[in-house]
Amino acid sequence: MNDQPKQLAGLKVVEFTHMVMGPAAGLILADLGADVVKVEPIGGDKTRRLRGSGAGYFSMYNRNKRSLAIDLKSPDGAEIALKLIDTADVFIENFRPGALDTLGFGYDTLSKRNPRLIYCSEKGFLSGPYENRTALDEVAQMMGGLAYMTGPPGQPLRAGASVIDVTGGMFGAIAVLAALHERTRTGKGAHVSASLFETTAFLVGQHMAQYAVTGIPAAPMPTRVSAWAVYDVFDVKDGEKVFVGVVSDGQWAAFCKAFDLVDWAGDRELAVNNNRVSKRDVIVPRLRELFASFTKQDLMARLETTGLPFAPITKPEELFDDPHLKAEGGLLDIVLPNGGTTALPALPVSINGVRPGLCLNPPRSGEHSREIISGLGLSDEAIDALEARGLIEEDASTLETSVEKA
C-alpha cells in the first residue's frame, strides 16, 4: 500500500454513484487523498455484477474508497446517510434527473443542511432541451460527433474505451476542485455539473474549429487528410504493425539519415513539410516497402535513435507487461473484491515526481459500514440492530464472490 503524502487529505467525499462516470470523478479525488465513502444499496452496487465489457468497471474505478451498504429508502437508513453528508465537503451523484430529489438527497435539501457542501452532478446533458434525456457514453459519442470521426465514412464507430464517461468524470472533478477553491473565499458550497454530451462536443471542438477556419468539414479520421506526409500505421514482419510519424522538418532530416534515404535527404523540396504532404502518394508506398523488411523490434530500435514519434500497436492485455508502466508506479497491485489480484493503471499524473498510489483496494460491498456509522456516533448495539433489520450490510463478500465467479 502507498503511504506518500496526499494532496487532498482531510477532504471528505460521499459518493452516490454507479457505472463509470460518477465513480471516475470519485476515483480522482480518492487517488489524490480524499476520504471517499461509496454509498451502495443492500447487496452492493449492481456495477459489481456486470459482465462483458462492463466486467472491469467496478474494479477499475473504485479503489481508495470505503463502502457503506445501506437502505436509503428506509427512514433510518436515509437519516444515517444524511448525517454522513452533513460532515462531508463533497457529494457526487450520477443518477437520472430528479431521482435523488425524490429520495430526499437533492441539492436544495442537502445544501440547506450543509451550506458548505460541493454537490457534483454527473449527467447526460447540462441544462437545455436535452437535459431530461437518458444518455450513455455511446449515446453521447454518436450524437456528439465522435463516433462519426472515429469510424470510416458511413460506419460510425464508438471509441474503444469509455472515454466520455471517464473524461466527463474528470471534468466533474475539475469543477469540484474549482468550487472548493472558491469556498475558501466565500465559505459557501456550490452545485457543479459535468455531462456526457457537452464533454463529447468539447472533444470534437478541434474539428468544429477546423471547419470554422477552413470552411471544409472534417473528414472521419480513417480518411482524413493528414497534416504530415508520414503519419500512419505500417506493416512490418510477422504480421505486426507500427505507427510512425514525422511531424517537423528537423525530424524529416533525422529520419532520412537514420534510414539511409540519401536521395530524399538531398531533395530541397522535400525538406519542407507542406511539399512532403503533396507528395504523400510517392513517399508512403516507398516507406511501406521499406518498413516491411523490418521486424517490429528492429524498426522501433532504429526509430528510438531518431526522436521521432512511433508506437507499437498494443492490445490492452499487453499493458500488464509494459516496462515503462511497471517501472515507476504506473501500475498498482490491487486485490479485487472477489479475492483475485491484478495490476491496474494509476492516475496518470505525478506531483513532485511522485505518482498517486494505492491505500485501499476496491472495497467489498459494505466492507466499511460499521466503521463509517460508528464514526457518526452510533453504538455497536445500535449498528447491530440496524443490521438485524436489514437496513445496513457489513460485508457481502461471500455473496459477491459467488456471483463474480459464476
Is the predicted pLDDT of residue 35 greater than 60, yes or no?
Answer: yes
Give the model confidence (pLDDT) of 104-157 as tens digits. Answer: 999 999 999 999 999 999 999 999 999 999 999 999 999 999 999 999 999 999
Determine the Cα–Cα distance for residues 115 and 113; give it in Å rounded to an integer. Answer: 6
Output the pLDDT for position 64.
Answer: 97
The reported pLDDT for the residue numbered 4 is: 67
Q: 252: pLDDT confidence band, cut at 50, 70 and 90?
A: very high
Q: How many CA atoms lie within 13 A of 360 on its CB side?
A: 22
- Rounded Cα distance between 289 and 300, Å, is 16
Residue 400 pLDDT greater than 50, yes or no: no
First to last CA, the chain: 29
- 406: confidence class by pLDDT, cuts 50, 70, 90: very low
Q: What does the pLDDT read at residue 308?
A: 92
What is the spatial distance between Cα 234 and Cα 47, in angstroms, rounded to a whole number? Answer: 39
Q: What's the pLDDT at 396?
A: 57
**DSSP code for 351:** B
pLDDT digits (tens, 9 = 90+) for 351-384: 999 999 999 999 999 999 999 999 999 999 999 9
Interatomic CA distance for residues 340 and 331, integer angstroms: 16
* Mean pLDDT, range 291-305, rounded to an integer: 95
Question: Which cell is 405 given?
Answer: 465467479
pLDDT at 227: 86
Q: Is the pLDDT of residue 402 over 70?
A: no
The two beta strands, 241-246 and 230-235, are antiparallel
Q: Does 401 score more than 80 pLDDT?
A: no
SS3 3: coil
- The percent of residues in the chain predicted with pLDDT above 90, rounded, is 92
Per-residue pLDDT tens over the stretch 44-99: 999 999 999 999 999 999 999 999 999 999 999 999 999 999 999 999 999 999 99
Q: pLDDT tens for residues 305-326?
A: 998 999 999 999 999 999 999 9
**Domains of the chain from N-terminus onward:** 12-203+328-404 (3.40.50.10540), 226-317 (3.30.1540.10)
Q: Give the per-residue pLDDT at 338.
A: 87
Rounded Cα distance between 220 and 361, Å, is: 40
